[in-house]
Amino acid sequence: MPKTTAAQFFATVGQDTQLTRRFLLATHDKHSAEAIEAIAQFAREIGFDLSFEDIRRTRSGPPPAQV
């Protein structure tokens, strides 16, 4: 698997309604570390090489710019 970024993963999931539904199911009723691990696992299932730390860094980053 080639190394990818969390931003690429979230952009891909956000553009595909089936992936969005699967993402929501994978993270439903999960909080904090459990949710981050679920996101990383889901990312790997759909071909993204992301770790718990990759996802955690995204969550800890600056807020997105307002459009």
How do the domains of the chain map onto residue ranges? 6-60
Residue 66 confidence (pLDDT): 60
CA torsion through residues 11, 35, 37, 20, sign: negative
Asked whether the predicted pLDDT for residue 22 surpasses 70, the reply is yes
Residue 57 confidence (pLDDT): 84
pLDDT in tens, 26-64: 999 998 899 999 999 999 999 999 988 988 887 665 555
Report field, pTM of the whole predicted structure over 0.95: no
Longest CA span, the chain: 33
Terminal Cα distance for the chain, rounded: 33
